Structure 1
Amino acid sequence: MLGRRHLLGTTAGAIATTSLLDRTRAWAQQQPFQPEPGATLRFLRWSRFLEAEDRATTENIRAFSEATGVPVRIDSVWQDDVLPQLSVAAGIGNGPDLAWTLHSTPHLFADKVLDLTDVADYIGGKYGGWYPLIEQYGKRDGRWIGISNLVIGVLPVYRVSAAREAGFDSFPTDSDGFLRLCAGLKRIGKPAGFAFGRAPSDGNSFCHWLLWSQGGRLVDENNAVALNSPETLRAVEYARELASHFIPGTIAWNDASNNSAFLAGQVSLTNNAVSIYGKARADGMAMADDIAYANWPVGPVGVPTELHLVYPFIGFRYSRYPNATKALLTFMLEGPQYERVLQSSAGYVSQALHAYDDSPVWRSDPHITVFRDVAARGRPLSYAGALGTQAATAFSEGIVADMFAEAIGGQVSPREAVARAERRALRIYRS
C-alpha cells in the first residue's frame, strides 16, 4: 500500500514535470534557434557524478524533446572515455552533435566545432555575463568554441575541531599559515593528507595550487616553457616541507583515497568537492557538523591561484542540425533549467554566469557557501599561456603533478625534479 508521503511526492513530481513541459513549449515558440525540420540529436556526456544533476539534466532534455519534437539520444560514458570518442568523431566527421567535455577539449578540435558565439552572447547578455574563467576556456581567436555551464570546485576541507585543537580558530588565508596548520595537525595526531600523484581532480588541483601560489608556472604569456625558475624551486621545497607533516602514502592516492581517509578519520584536512560533506550528511555521520571548506590560501604572489574543474559543451560542424544543436544547448542554459541543476546539486556544481551569484542554493547551507566563488577565483590549466593541444597534453601527462611526486618521494632532488619536468614540457611545447 502506498503511503501518503509517497503519493504526495509522486503528485509533486508530476506537477513539476507538467510545469516544465508547459514552460518548455512556451520557450520553444520564442527562442532564437529554431530546429531544422526532422532534426534528431545525439548528446554525449560524461557519466554522472551526482544523481541529482543527472536526473535534472535528463528531465530537462526530455522536456525539450517533447516540446520541440526533436528526439535526443543521450550517450553517457566514463569521463576518461569522452576525449577518445570525440577524437574519433572529429576525425571521421560523424558522431554526437553536442558533447559535454572537460577543461580544454574544445581547443583540441577548434577547426571542427560549431561557432557558438551567438549562443554565448544570447545567454550571457540575458544572465549577467560570463565569468572570465569561462571565457578563457570557451574562446579561441575571438569566437566561442565551447561553453561551460558549470564549474566543480575543489577546495580544502577540514575538521573544525581538529583545527582548533591545533591552535587555529579559523582556516589560514596564507600559505605560511597553511604550513603551520599542517604541522599542528600532525603534532596532535590528526594529520593532513593531499594527493601528490596523478589523481586527476584532487591531485592536480593541489599540485597546481602549490606551483602557482609560490609564483611558478609551466609556461609564460608567450607559451614559452618557464618552469625552471626560483619560484618553481621554492614551490617544490615548500611542498616537501608540507609533506613531512602528511599521513604517509599520499603519493599513491587516487581521487577516492582522500575521501576514504577523511571519512574514516585518518586525516582531518584534505581537498575535495562538496562530496565529502555530502556523503557524511547523507550517511548521518556525527562528523558532518564538524566539517568545513575554505578557499585555498594565498601564497607570496598575493592573489588566488586555484584550479577547479570546468566542463564545456561543444557542437560539431559536421552536424546536419546545427540549429537544433544550438537550441538544445540554449535551453539547458536558460534560467529555469540552469537553476534547477544548480539547486539540485547542492553546491557540487557552481555557476558560470553572474546572474546566479545570489542563487538560493548558496544560502541553503553555510557549509557550501564558499563554493559560490570558485569560478571567480579559478585559473585555466594553461596558465600563464594559451589553451590548446600543448596545454592539454602537458596536463594529461601529469607533468606538474609528477614533478612534485618525484621530489616528495625522494627519487630525485628538488632541482632535478624541476629539470626533469622542464625537459618533458619542452618536448611538448617545441613539437
Structure 2
Amino acid sequence: ACGPQSSGGPTATIPKPRKGASIRLLQWTSFVKPADEEFKRQAAEWGAANGVTVAIETVTGDQLQPKTAAAVEASSGPDIIQMQYAWPQLYTDACLDVSNEVNILIGKLGKPDPVNEAYCKVNGTWRAIPYTIVPNAWTYRTDDFQQAGVTSFPKTWDELTSAAAKLKATGKPISQTDGHAYGDSLTMWNPVLWGFGGKEVNADGKTVAINSKETRDAIRWAQGAVKAGLVVHPEWLDPDNNQAYHADRISGTLNGASIYIREKIEFHHYTDVTNNAPMPSGPKGTFAMNLIFNHAVMKWSPDAETAKAMLLALMDKDQYMKWTTVASGYNAGPFDAFHNDPVFSADPKLKAFQDVVAPGKWPGWPASPSKKTAQSQTQYIVADMFGKALANGGTGDVEAAVAAAETSLKAIFERP
C-alpha cells in the first residue's frame, strides 16, 4: 500500500524529471486516431526537452483492464496506467498518492469535474490525475428520421420507443449494444435504470436496492422499446455500432462523438445528414454516464517523480487544448479551465456532447465510487440484467433477470 506523500496545497512541490529516465505509459486507443498521434507527439517532445525516453503503448479499451490487472498482480509494468471509470478505487494500493500534483493543477485550472474527482479520490487521497471525459450522446441520421416521419430526436425514453418503431419499419433501425461493451453498454443501461428511479445500491454503498418496482419499470420500458423496434445487439462491442453507422445499416446509436467526427474528417459519406442529441429523460429525470479516463502513477515506477512531471506537462492548458482541438470534440477536459473549449462552440452539432457532461453519474450511483462499485461495473451486472430481459426480442424473464442481478450485487456489497 502507498501512504500519503504530500498534502499539496501551499506546500505543493513541482516534481522534477530525471535526465536519463525512461517512462512507459499504457492507455487505450482512441476512436479518433489523430488524438493519439498528438498525445504521442507531445509526450515525445517533452521527453526530448527533458532527456527522458518516453514510450506510449496504446491498446483497445477491452484490453486495458486485463493488462492493468496483470501489471497490478505482478507489481511490475508501465510507470503510468490510464484508469477507466473507478479503477483507482479498485487498484488503490498500486497507485501512488498524486495529491500534490492534482493540487498544482487545481491552482492553475480550477475545480476538477465532480465525476473525475469521485473516481480519482480514495478516502480523501488523490490516486490518479484527472485526464479526460469522453461524453456519450446519440448520433443519428436526420434524413432517415425525416423519411420515417420523426422530426427531431426523442426527448424522453417513451418518445424513443415510438421513434424506434418508425425507424425499424424503414429498414434502418435505432440500434444499441446490451452486451459487454465497456463504453456503449454501460453508458446506455445505467442511465435508463436511473431515469426510472432504479439503482444498484443505496447511497450508503452497502444495501443492495436493485430488486425494486423502479428497476422493473426500467426493464419493462426497455422490453417495450425492443418489441416496438429498438434493435439490441448482445454481441456488439464498442467499435461495432460505429461500423454499422458508417456502413449505412442503422439510423441512430449512443456513442462518443467519434462517429460524427470520423464522418466529418475521414469518410465524408453522411456528414451533412448526421446530427447528435443528448440523453432522453425518464420519469425520474435526465441522466447520463460518460466514459472517463484518469492517469495513475504506479507504485513500482523507479521514476515516479519523472512520471508525475510528464503528466503535469501534458495537462498544461495550452498543451491540453492543442490535444482536444486535434481530437475534434471527442474529449472534454476535466477541469473548469477547459469547460469553454472552443472546439465545441466551433461546431453546433457537437453541443450535445457538452450537454451530457453535467448530468453524468457513475456506476453504482447514488453510492459514492468505491472498490465495490468498480467490481460491479467490471462485471457488467446492470448490462447483463437488461441483456437477459431483452433476449428473444424483448421477452426475457424479468424476475429471473432481477434476481440474478440481486444475487451478484449482494455477493459484492453485502458480503462480510
Q: Same fold (TM over 0.5)?
A: yes
Structure 2 partner of 1:229: 212
Query: SS state of the match for residue 143, structure 2?
Result: helix
Match runs of 1:43-58 below 5 Å: 43-58=25-40
Change in CA separation of 1:283 and 1:361 when aligned onto 2, cut-off 3 Å: closer
Change in CA separation of 1:250 and 1:85 when aligned onto 2, cut-off 3 Å: closer
Cα shift at 1:238: 0.2
Q: Which residue among 224, 246, 250 is the counterpart of 2:233?
A: 250
Gaps in structure 2 of 5+ consecutive residues: 1-12
1:417 and 2:404 correspond: no
Comparing 376-385 with 304-313, which one deviates more in the overlay?
376-385
**Partners of 1:286 and 1:46 in 2: how far apart?**
27
Structure 1 partner of 2:5: none
Match runs of 1:35-74 below 5 Å: 35-36=17-18, 38-74=20-56
1:193 and 2:193 correspond: no
Query: SS state of the match for residue 94, structure 2?
Result: coil
CA deviations over 1:345-365 (Å, ceiling 9, x no partner): 001112212212222211222
Change in CA separation of 1:413 and 1:314 when aligned onto 2, cut-off 3 Å: same
**One-letter identity of the residue aligned with 1:243:** V
**One-letter identity of the residue aligned with 1:218:** E
Structure 2 partner of 1:24: none
How many corresponding residue pairs? 400
Query: SS state of the match for residue 115, structure 1?
Result: coil
**Partners of 1:125 and 1:166 in 2: how far apart?**
51
Change in CA separation of 1:407 and 1:323 when aligned onto 2, cut-off 3 Å: same
Change in CA separation of 1:227 and 1:263 when aligned onto 2, cut-off 3 Å: same
Structure 2 partner of 1:360: 342
1:400 and 2:382 correspond: yes
The answer on whether the counterparts of 2:130 and 2:294 sit within 8 Å (CA) in structure 1 is yes
Change in CA separation of 1:71 and 1:253 when aligned onto 2, cut-off 3 Å: closer
Change in CA separation of 1:409 and 1:134 when aligned onto 2, cut-off 3 Å: same
The answer on whether the counterparts of 1:203 and 1:401 sit within 8 Å (CA) in structure 2 is yes
The answer on whether the counterparts of 1:41 and 1:321 sit within 8 Å (CA) in structure 2 is yes
CA deviations over 1:368-392 (Å, ceiling 9, x no partner): 2322243322111231223233222
Match runs of 1:147-226 below 5 Å: 147-223=129-205, 224-226=207-209
**Partners of 1:81 and 1:187 in 2: how far apart?**
37
Q: Which runs of 4+ in 1 moved over 6 A?
A: none
The answer on whether the counterparts of 1:194 and 1:246 sit within 8 Å (CA) in structure 2 is no
Q: TM-score, normalised by structure 2?
A: 0.89
Cα shift at 1:271: 1.3
Structure 2 partner of 1:25: none
**Partners of 1:93 and 1:323 in 2: how far apart?**
18
**Partners of 1:351 and 1:177 in 2: how far apart?**
32
1:100 and 2:101 correspond: no
Structure 1 partner of 2:411: 427
**Partners of 1:47 and 1:178 in 2: how far apart?**
31
Change in CA separation of 1:137 and 1:232 when aligned onto 2, cut-off 3 Å: same
CA deviations over 1:117-138 (Å, ceiling 9, x no partner): 1211211221132111111111
Change in CA separation of 1:252 and 1:46 when aligned onto 2, cut-off 3 Å: closer
Cα shift at 1:260: 3.0
Structure 2 partner of 1:17: none
1:320 and 2:302 correspond: yes
Structure 2 partner of 1:288: 271
**One-letter identity of the residue aligned with 1:377:** P
1:272 and 2:272 correspond: no
User: Which structure has greater strand proportion?
Assistant: 2
The answer on whether the counterparts of 1:262 and 1:268 sit within 8 Å (CA) in structure 2 is yes
**Partners of 1:260 and 1:353 in 2: how far apart?**
32
Structure 2 partner of 1:117: 99
The answer on whether the counterparts of 1:46 and 1:101 sit within 8 Å (CA) in structure 2 is no
Query: SS state of the match for residue 111, structure 1?
Result: helix
Q: TM-score, normalised by structure 1?
A: 0.86
Cα shift at 1:35: 2.4
